[in-house]
Homo-oligomer: A and B are copies of this chain.
Amino acid sequence: MSGVRASVLAASNRGPVSFRVGDDGSLEARRGGGGLVSGLSAAGGGPDRRWVCAALSDADRHAAREAPDGRLDLAGLDVGDQPVRMLDIDPGTFSRAYNGIANSTLWFVHHLMYDGSTQPVFDAHFRRQWASYLDYNRAFAEALAEEAADGATAVVQDYHLSLAPAMLRALRPDLRIGHFSHTPWAPPDYYRMLPDDVAAAVLEGILGADRAGFLTDRWARAFADCCRAVLGADVSEDGGSLAVTHRGRTTELGVHGLGTDAEFLRERAYRPDVDARRAALLERIGPGRKVIVRVDRTELSKNIVRGLLAYRELLRRHAEWRGRVVHVAFAYPSRHDLPEYREYTAAVQRVAREIEDEFGTADWSPLILHVEDDFPRSLAAYRIADVALVNPIRDGMNLVAKEIPVASENGCALVLSREAGAFAELGGEAVPVNPFDVDMTAEALREALEMPDDERAERSKRLAAAAVALPPQKWFLDQLEALRHE
């Protein structure tokens, strides 16, 4: 162990920095964004902060191995103001834990995405993945235990690390431990698909924390329901605040609806690279046409295919909109290690071609689809959106629903799935949809397109205000304070 022990620690699969090998063979650091990066910065930088994360690529592993005790800052690498310990986890172990358990099992359970008749299958192959998930979580718990000063506060992030809180508590009972779930939570009847020991271990892992955070009251209640149904735990409620008591220990459940960082977004969205892409997009769209925008990872839960089907239904049913609207759909690649995701991208492209074939004319393309990531182009689309389409089948929060109203130039109408966590905060000003109901989504798009300008501007203002109510910095500090003062 080198360096100062930390009094505030964060742990997450993805860290604030990643590496690639440059043309000259040297490692180049690339610093990332996101709520947690902003949040932890707000907690103050300096040597007694610590971020523990996993090496995600060969270049990351190389950087981690070169650094003393995996401490990137001690190796003189640029990690900003947040000392980072990057864990060099065996690639096979990492893949089984990350792809096998986190993304193919827990993610599917919480988003209700199994077809039941054929998936999931919990067999010997699954057991090897589960053993790796234990190893992966243990590596984090051990690193946190090493890095933490006496009585320090450690916040552990998300479904990749559901076992780490209990493991860390066993190693370091003096710490204040938090866990935060960025996903939805499954109802007990679905959650109990998991093998009995796995279902219990995930709940008991999180209950190892003093405080377990969720994005909405709905997911916190689902977690509590699972604790009651699977563990027989006791759930109490005090003024709307839930607590779970299991084996004599009580874990408080907190709700912190992560918002968007308006300052960053507005500044970033008006830089020249975005301006250029905005001009190019408007050129392709053509004058006087309304713009429906969606921006998503190509994630099975984001419901891009049904979104396209709804747009097609709109054009079929309401011929007056043909030639007068363009749907800008950005679906950038995600989790392409999993075959379901590659198939889904193909399905998105197939339906897009069908729409172009059915409605496209010499001077009107009904759809602009891009499946490569381009952040400035996404921001350009945000700015020109008349309608934002955010229709996930189930979503922890969905920050795009918050970002578009904040970045839009003339105000946008938001068509929002009631299964998104964001619906709890934005539902009142949005046009709500049942994400499985393509007919309803088509009508919601029409309603959003036909919303009077002044109403749209007013609603968009209120959406933007709600979207920034809990920016990442405050979101993180609130959790930290609650954790320390409980």
Collect the chain B residues with CB atoms within 8 Å of residue A126's CB: 439
Q: Which of A111-119, A149-157, A207-215 contacts the other chain? A: A111-119
How many chain copies does the complex carry?
2
Which B residues are in CB contact (< 8 Å) with A119?
115
Cα distance, A114 to B300, chains bound together (Å): 13
Q: Output the nearest chain B residue to A432 by Cβ-Cβ distance.
A: B196
Q: Are A121 and B436 in contact (CB under 8 A)?
A: yes
- For residues 175 through 209 of chain A, which have their beta carbon under 8 Å from a beta carbon of chain B? 186-190, 192-196
Nearest CB in chain B: distance from A436 CB, A: 5
Are A439 and B195 interface neighbours, CB within 8 A?
yes
Asked whether, in the complex, the Cβ of A122 is within 8 Å of the Cβ of B300, the reply is no
Q: Is A12 an interface residue (CB 8 A)?
A: no
Given A437-B196, A439-B195, the answer on whether A309 and B121 have CB atoms closer than 8 Å is yes
In contact, B196 and A434 (Cβ under 8 angstroms): yes
On chain B, the residues within 8 Å of A188 by CB distance are 187
Chain B residues near A434 (CB-CB < 8 A): 122, 192-193, 195-196
Measured in the bound complex, the distance between the Cα atoms of B112 and A193 in whole Å is 11
Chain B residue nearest to A419 (CB atoms) is B192
Assess whether A112 is in contact with B190, with CB atoms less than 8 Å apart: yes
Which B-chain residue is minimally distant from A435 (CB atoms)?
B193
A305 contacts across to B, CB distance below 8 A:
118
A309 and B300 alpha carbons, distance in the complex (Å): 27
In whole angstroms, what is the CA distance A461 to B394 when docked? 47
Are B306 and A121 closer than 8 Å at their CB atoms?
Answer: yes
Nearest CB of chain B from residue A393's CB, rounded to whole Å: 5
Can you list 8 A-B pairs with a CB-CB distance of less than 8 A? A113-B115, A114-B115, A115-B119, A116-B300, A116-B301, A121-B436, A123-B309, A196-B437
Residues of A participating in the B interface, judged by any CB pair closer than 8 Å? 111-124, 126-127, 186-190, 192-196, 222, 300-301, 303, 305-306, 309, 313, 340, 344, 347, 393-394, 434, 436-440
Apart from A118-B344, A121-B306, A196-B437, what 5 extra A-B contacts exist at CB < 8 Å? A113-B115, A115-B115, A116-B301, A123-B313, A195-B440
